[in-house]
Amino acid sequence: MKINSILAIAIIVIMMISVFAWLSVETPTKPTIIQPVINEPTSNPSPTNSQNNPTPIINSTKTQNVGSLFTSAFQNVVDAIVSRPPGLIESNPNLTTTVWRTVAANAWQYFQPGTGVDSNTGLPRASLTYFYFTDWDLGVYIQAIIDANKTALIGYGGDWGSIARIEKVLTFLETRELNNASYPFWFYQASDGKEYHAASELSSSLVDPVDTGRLLVALNNLKIFNSNLTSRIDNFVYNKSGNRSNYAALVPDVLNDCNSSTSVYTYYVASGFASFWPNELAGATAKILTNINNAGTVQTFGATLPNATISCEPLLCSVFELNNNSKLNALAKQVYLAHEAKYNATGQYVAFSEGNTQTGFIYEWVVLPTGETWKITDSVTNLPSSINNPIIYTKVSMSFLALYNTSFARNMAIYLEQSLPDSNNGYYAGADYNTVGNANLVFSIDSNSNGLILGASRYCLQNLY
């Protein structure tokens, strides 16, 4: 049964290569923003303040492509037919530091030159088949370099050590082409650092504050990692030379959103701005957590969650990359327990996030401010996705395992190990729940997946051992 199913998948992959090859270069519609705003992440043509619009406004900047590695997908499927020994998690009942360093090393494979990083420019690719990146992707890569150094995967020196990698990124940020409003374009080409017109020109907005916030989180962590870079980073973030972006103009909108927002996304993004404008945004991110705690609650499979806008992607990024606090940690634990409760009630593994699927990019929301739970929306219309079964995202599964090391988290990770093909280029995005060997697999190996897994590994090694 398993072999027949995998062969069927292989045939389907071959038939759909031409279709998805087109999808891999298709880019999302960008929101029209007359003035720089932050609100909630959005792909709507006319975003409104989240206080007046209970439906989450979704960030479309990470919807670059279906992202599947179709040039080798068939071979990967064929390889999966061969009976494999137990995977890393399954074969190690005790998750030692050695195991987590191996997980980190596996994720870091994506960021090798010629794989997820252009070997000439040193700039990241959003996925193995999408040779472009946003400021969100750039933030993921900066954080990945820091995490790789902290887990001894790379040293400081050498052509591809942390110093050389960071130098390439900072040089790009200091010199990159900006739009007519002196803000970054939405997309750049990894091959030469130039604007990617086909995607950027779909948006008439001046700036993407969501991606900016994510980049600022990483840049602040880079300053902590190497204080010698502080003045250099501050120079272009604060626009001291007058030839970069005026990010300070975005701060009032960030502050305004924090006053009413109950979104984890806003918390994460605002934290990036607050790290550079601490006086102007004093107490702003704490206000969001207070708003979330005061938003009332919803019940799902016996678990209690805040009636807020909750997605695992920004929540886990916040836990791993920001200064933790009791409210943030408590929220992450609540979200985890809701996943476990859903599994106990349904018998189906669940690890909600956002990312590629067999049909396109989706957002899996644990909670929406409407009181709805476990809702999936697509990245363009903000309407319910046509996907039948939720994707169990590897990055969330491994993050839960790193944080809580429970039987549920472990068994879910093993399920993905058994379902997904082996890869030397990082972790695949995930699969839906079905019989092992019959699951719908997401043939995407991307920076978001492997960056978060690497961050989870580093956090685990740094804080839990």
Residue 294 lies in a domain: yes
Residue 334 lies in a domain: yes
Range(s) of the domain holding residue 92: 2-130+249-266+276-463
Total domains in the fold of the chain: 1
Residue 116 lies in a domain: yes
Strand partners, 430: 393, 442
Distance CA 333, CA 198 (A): 41
Residue 97 lies in a domain: yes
Give the pTM.
0.85
Written as tens digits, the pLDDT of the chain (465 aa) is 333 334 333 433 333 333 333 333 333 332 222 233 333 333 332 222 333 333 333 333 444 443 444 444 444 443 443 467 899 999 999 999 999 999 999 999 999 999 999 999 999 999 999 999 999 999 999 999 999 999 999 999 999 999 999 999 999 999 999 999 999 999 999 999 999 988 887 776 889 999 999 999 999 999 999 999 999 999 999 999 999 999 999 999 999 999 999 999 999 999 999 999 999 999 999 999 999 999 999 999 999 999 999 999 999 999 999 998 999 999 999 999 999 999 999 999 999 999 988 788 999 999 999 999 999 998 767 777 878 789 999 999 999 999 999 999 999 999 999 999 999 999 999 999 988 878 999 999 999 999 999 999 999 999 877
Residue 368 lies in a domain: yes
- Of 149, 158, 61, nearest to 104 (Cα)? 149
Residue 100 lies in a domain: yes
Residue 150 lies in a domain: no
Burial pattern 177-207, b for ≥16 Cβ within 10 A else e, equals eebeeebbbbbbbbeebebbeebbeebebbb
Q: Rounded to whole angstroms, what are the CA distances from 384 to 105, 396, 423?
A: 36, 21, 32
Burial class (CB in 10 A: 0-12, 13-18, 19+), 332: buried
Q: Which amino acid is at 235?
A: N
Q: By three-state DSSP, how is residue 190 classified?
A: coil
Distance CA 419, CA 22 (A): 26
Residue 329 lies in a domain: yes
